[in-house]
Amino acid sequence: KNDIYAVCMNPEILPLLYEIKLLRKEEKKIFINEKFTDKIQKLTVGLPKGKISQDQIDDSLRIMKKIGNLGEEIALEYERERLSDMDCEKEAQNVERISEEFANAGFDIRSFNGKSDDLNHDRFIEVKSSTDAEFSIHWSHNEMEFAKKYPDNYWIYFIPKIDLLNQTSDEPILIQNPIKNILENKEYYKKSESLHITKN
């Protein structure tokens, strides 16, 4: 049990295990999918740590990138439709996905809350995507810092139930000011999965 726990709690591996449905979460408990129990035990019990190859990790990261890219495309289309429905056609045409060329911006899409005569973006969207329906995200320090600077203009768009085969998802979940509505909200369970350490 200790060996399995150590592998599952690795901050680099844990998100992958949720995405490939190897683990499932019920409230604050984590369960191994029964289909994989025997295989997990063979991989971990009595064997040295690190039995996941770099190729397997690379494959998982490629899948996660595809999930993330599709989520951003869905969020972009959703945002353009939202503005069009508000008769903001000019704004809809100027929504921009910046994540590819500006990966460390702290958000993925810049948009508009509504009409904007000067077309200055005033909605900054961080897209989080999952193949699961349950709200579960990893939020970087850089993203949080940007959200603190622009609390009312920063949104998380959570895209649930991504289906890569059919290129679909469930309706996005929109959360404005996630510092207040997630970090300071007791309804959300927060857990630190990595630690940045420097020497004085």
Closest CA to 109 of 174, 170, 165: 174
Q: For residues 76-96, give the mean pLDDT.
A: 97
User: Of the given ranges (10-19, 36-45, 83-92, 184-193), which has the lowest mean pLDDT?
Assistant: 36-45
User: Of the given ranges (17-26, 85-94, 106-115, 161-170), which has the lowest mean pLDDT?
Assistant: 17-26
At residue 84 the predicted structure's pLDDT band, cuts being 50, 70 and 90, is: very high
More confident residue, 171 or 32: 171
What is the spatial distance between Cα 62 and Cα 56, in angstroms, rounded to a whole number?
10
Report whether 142 contacts 104 (CB < 8 A).
Answer: yes
What six digits make up the tokens of 100?
């590819």
